[in-house]
Amino acid sequence: MRLPIAAALCCLVPSAALAAPDPRCQGTPKARAARFSEDAMKGASPQARHAAYVQACALEEVVALTQELVRFKTVSSEAPAPKNPGIAAMGRFLQKWAKSHDMAWRTVGANEVFEIAWGKGAPALGLVFHGDVVPAPVHEWKRPPFEPYVQDGRLFGRGVEDDKGPLASALVALDYARQLGIEPRGKVLVIIGNGEESDWTGMLKYAAMEPKAPHVISVDSSFPVVAAQSGFVAWNLSAPVGPARKSSRFALRPVDAKGGEFLTQVPGTATLKLLPGEGSSLPVALETVRAAIADEQRTRSWLKADAKEEGGAVLLTVHGKAVHSSVANEGVNALWGLSAVSSRLILEDNGIAAMLRVLFLRFEGDHHGQKLAVEYSDAALMGPLLVAPTMLRVADGKVSLGVNMRRPRGQDSARFNAALDQAALLVGQDSDGRVTEAGERYVGDPHVADTSGPLVTTLMAIYKRHRDDPDAVPTSVRGGTYARLFPKAVDFGPGFPGDEYTGHAPDESISLENLDLTTRMLAEAVYLLSVAPEPVSAPGK
């Protein structure tokens, strides 16, 4: 039997909502809502009663609903939405949830977009989320990633921050308004795309064809209000593995290399498999690699690496810190360390060695593309270009490197593509023509919203009051969310300034305190933007 969240965690979490459960939250939803009715809270406005109900009672329900959603393995990169059993199962669950809470349900495409609607009439407000998640390699996690749990005031599991926890916050906030008899001016749409982490085709079609709400909020980034997003760039390099063009009897032969799990995560681990040369032996090769690690650690104190014998070869492993590639500067890229150690070794000059040389010469230690000669910046809002090599693989006789970039405004796509053309020439020169650009290049455009309109001003006022931060200003992120598909849309949470974002990292988690505050701020945004007579700024502090 599962204990109620509040009872199970009262001693772990400082939040008043958990440490001292409000007696008004006991009983059935109907009984709870009656305690926040107009009769029970005489003189209080509908907005104040809704806010009080959410603050007192919502968190436990949000945590429980998030856990239900996390249990669905909705990894879109493993199977697209039309063929993904986890996404289909989550859809059936959400459809049942919507029906039981008197909300309309619609599936758009082959499970590509789910839509839950509260209210009637033309759309008044759109709340955008995604139900798919990035992969969660079990070996990187302390506990199974799709078995959510709460520990030390945090909720753990793949998707709790990105993006199932925020989805649960919105659904509970809407349902509490419904229970109180509040009616919006038009429909509030909860729009759930199921390919955000892999293929945006379904949401692209939805955004292009469906009636647009005047205000659209994505809850898939950070606070206070994200009014600008960098353009997403995918760039791929490739080289044939062999044979070696030159070598010596004592050179180590690279036979395999691997780093990274997916394009949008900075690699936390990278490996290189080496065979001893004809004039050497396995013990000597192992000692050589260990000596290179020690030499490199004298100049790079952050480097964590080891070498061991495995299957007649030397396996070099470099350990970094995996983070979302949009915040690459907050992690430690294991591919940097792998290329740095490799630069101290005498290697047979095959394609793997050539790619490692390119990594070292053009990427190592450089977040902003200076070594590739592609750097530029938007000093006013969006900051500099961000460059992260994230995927190193050897397969089918080729070695490949996937590079993720996040580009700000200030350079049009034609100029940026020309810079990438020149960068491809540079890596070709570094590798004697072996490393070339491969696959399809993708260069997305930056997205910038209206920072002076009612949507941004309303959300900023809500944030300033709840966080007691009168100096907060709209921000920009290097991540890309579905907000860019809707005119003037913005992101509002769930990440808070100063908190580490764990959305694409192992042991993804979100604090219960932040989940609670996100729910309360979303509830107020829903009221002001869809229930109040017209969009107005929340009262400032």
What's the pLDDT at 538?
A: 47
pLDDT of amino acid 501: 85
Given the structure tokens 């990438």, which residue do they identify? 420
CATH 3.40.50.1820 assigned to 231-443: no
pLDDT recorded at residue 19: 53
What pLDDT does 381 receive? 86
Q: Dump the DSSP string for 155-223.
A: EESTTTTTTHHHHHHHHHHHHHHHHTT---SSEEEEEEES-TTT--HHHHHHHHHSPPPSEEEE-SEES
Question: Could you tell me if 433 and 424 are in contact, meaning their C-beta atoms sit under 8 angstroms apart?
Answer: no
What are all long-range contacts of 45-51, with beta carbons under 8 Å and residues at least 24 apart? 46/180, 46/182, 46/527, 46/531, 47/524, 47/527, 47/528, 47/531, 47/532, 49/180, 50/176, 50/177, 50/180, 50/182, 50/523, 50/527, 51/520, 51/523, 51/524, 51/527
- Looking at this protein, which amino acid is placed at residue 503? G
**Quick one: pLDDT at residue 478?**
87
* Amino acid at residue number 286: L
CA–CA dist 325, 44 (Å, integer): 46
Please tell me the total number of residues recorded for the chain in this structure. Answer: 541
Taking the C-alpha atoms of residue 113 and residue 460, their distance in angstroms, rounded to an integer, is 29
Q: Domain-by-domain residue ranges, the chain?
A: 5-229+448-531, 231-443
Instruction: Name the residue among 407, 411, 410, 417 with its Cα closest to residue 378.
Output: 410
E-only strand ranges, 396-450: 398-407, 436-437, 442-443, 447-448
Whether 5-229+448-531 shares its CATH topology with 231-443 is answered no
Q: Which CATH class is domain 5-229+448-531?
A: alpha beta
For residue 308, the model assigns a pLDDT of 97
Along the chain (541 residues), what's the average pLDDT of each consecutive run of 10 residues?
A: 33 44 94 97 97 98 98 96 98 98 97 98 97 95 98 97 97 98 97 95 95 95 94 96 79 96 93 92 96 95 95 96 91 97 96 98 97 95 95 97 96 97 98 95 91 94 97 89 92 94 92 98 98 64 40
Amino acid identity, residue 142?
Answer: K
Residues contacting residue 10 through CB under 8 Å, at least 6 positions apart? 18, 19, 20, 21
CA distance 342 to 356: 7
Confidence (pLDDT) at 156: 98
Determine the pLDDT at residue 535.
57
Cα distances from 497 to residues 230, 252, 397, 531, in angstroms, run 18, 47, 45, 29
- Number of helices and strands (H, E) in the chain? 13, 25
Burial letters for 428-448: b for 16+ Cβ neighbours within 10 Å, e otherwise? bebbeebbebbeeeebbebbb
How distant, in Å, are the alpha carbons of 29, 47, 92, 413, 448 from that of 53?
11, 10, 28, 48, 35
Residue whose C-alpha is closest to residue 145's, from 162, 130, 128: 162
| CB within 8 Å of 327: residues ≥ 6 apart | 478, 479, 501
* DSSP three-state, residue 20: coil
pLDDT, residue 262, reads: 87
Do the beta carbons of residue 50 and residue 523 sit within 8 Å?
yes
Q: Is the dihedral of CA 408, 336, 435, 428 positive or negative?
A: positive
d(CA 238, CA 439): 9
Contact 303, 352 (CB under 8 A): no
Distance CA 238, CA 30 (A): 61
How far, in Å, CA of 285 to CA of 148, rounded? 44
Question: Among all chains, which residue has been given the structure tokens 């974002």?
Answer: 501
